[in-house]
Amino acid sequence: MLEVDSFNSSDDDLAAFQKTLPPLNSDTMSRTSTVAYEFTYRYAMVPLELASACRKVHSALTGPKARQQNEIEEQSLHEVWDALEKSWKDFDSLRMLGTSGNVHEEDVDRYIHGWQVSKPAVSHAIYLF
């Protein structure tokens, strides 16, 4: 049995992984396989982008640079907030893809809601205490 305590990846790892994937709208795929691939690609990439946003949160709040400073860098927090808001919108936009005949609509909603824990109450407001 394979046991993994944690999986760590960086934005460089994500970029390298994305380069290995066939491009969307590839001429080498049939129309049916293109639709299925695009559907799968979009549903897989949004959580990976969220992972990137989470790494930004970690870096801004508890990363090595943040630990060396007495205060949190406001620009970093704005970047984090923007990344999290983009992630929220990306999950919402998955609904626009429809079900592609592959899954039920309630499964799409369950998938999206499973990733969207809660929407921030105030957009772009950062309160430092």
SS3 content of the chain, % helix, strand, coil (to 5): 65, 0, 35
> Which of 129, 7, 2 lies closest to 71, judged by CA?
129
Amino acid identity, position 119: K
pLDDT one digit per residue (tens) for the chain, 129 residues:
555 455 566 778 777 877 887 777 666 666 657 777 888 888 888 998 898 888 888 888 888 888 888 888 888 889 988 999 999 999 999 888 877 777 888 998 988 988 887 555 444 444 443
| Cα 104 to chain centroid, rounded | 22
User: What pTM did the predictor assign?
Assistant: 0.68
Q: What contacts 71, CB < 8 A, 6 or more positions away?
A: 128
Residue 99, number of CB atoms within 10 A of its CB: 13
> Which of 21, 106, 90 lies closest to 50, judged by CA?
90
State pLDDT tens for residues 63-74: 888 888 888 888
State pLDDT tens for residues 16-29: 877 887 777 666 66
Alpha helices, DSSP H only, in 63-121?
64-68, 74-93, 105-115
Q: Hey, where are the domains in the chain? A: 31-115
Left, alpha or beta for 101 (phi > 0: left; psi -120 to 50: alpha)?
left
